[in-house]
Amino acid sequence: MVNRCGFVAIVGRPNVGKSTLINAILGRKISIVTPKPQTTRHRILGIYTTNDSQIIFIDTPGLHRSATKTINRMMNRVAASALSDADLILFVSEATRWTAEDQDVLFKLKQSPIPIMALPNKIDKIHPKEELLSVLSAMSDRHTFDEVLPISAKLNDNLDRLIDLIPNYLPESPSLYPEEMLTDRNESFQIAELIREKLTLLLRQEVPYGLTVQIERMEKERKGININAVIWIERDSQKGIVIGKGGKVLKKIGRLARLELKERLNMPVHLDLWVKVKNNWSDNEKELMRLGYD
């Protein structure tokens, strides 16, 4: 039996559902999801293995126009570099709206010789359903895509069809990763990201972009796991917002993270969170690299 294996870059502007898509395909959260743009900051591999294929999805930060800080420029570079590694590009957009940022992303993709599959996402929001035909027609007019497949990552709509189509674009090759492996990111990275997800969901709009999470210590024992994590912020003025009056906000974030980690790791979790200031870390390339950014 011929085996196919290759890299599939998931690309689009921020907040179109790229991480939701990869999580839905793998049946497990490997990339955090929030309603806020630029939640995904790293290049994350999601590995989907069948009897005759291995699809290595590359979840990327959203390509965006505003790249005033070093972290934003790094995120754009990470997303762009994923294209050069890919055998196939999945271009994700929202079925209900097309923006100037979508057009920017498509312009970049048109420069690539790699096959592109257009995935208008969130088709569950289209009413009446007949409107979907005009969405697909408009997408086909924008570029000669190799495939145009409407999906709903949230409701798993058409994802089976997507998985059937992808191997046709991958080279014949043995699998590159063990069958049971779902991602290239280690447990420490995934725990830090889960904590950041809770921070992003609970804090005011401006604060999540100025924070990151780093695991300082992680010890597994027979009775559970002990985790010490540092929440790095950029300014002293953000400290009170993250901690909250009487520590209320930080306690809530810790509780939400601990409950999800307990379910995910299937063991009791003791989680200590500390908030520390590292001035302007997101605009400093050396600090970004120390904090694990690509």
Q: Which residues contact 38 (CB under 8 A, 6 or more apart)?
A: 14, 15, 61, 62, 64, 72, 75, 209
pLDDT band (50, 70, 90) for residue 189: very high
**Mean pLDDT to the nearest integer, 65-92:** 84
> Any bridge partners for residue 56, and if so which?
7, 47
Q: Which residue has the tokens 């409950």?
A: 259
DSSP 195: H
CB atoms inside a 10 Å sphere around CB 107 = 10
Least confident of 2-11, 68-77, 211-220: 68-77
Q: Give the separation between CA 293 and CA 194, rounded to whole angstroms.
A: 16
CB atoms inside a 10 Å sphere around CB 8 = 26
Give percent above pLDDT 90 in the chain.
77
Provide the pLDDT for residue 66. 64
In order of their start, the domains of the chain are: 4-169 (3.40.50.300), 187-290 (3.30.300.20)
Provide the pLDDT for residue 67. 65
Q: Which helix (H) or strand (E) holds 274?
A: strand 269-277
**Mean pLDDT to the nearest integer, 122-136:** 94
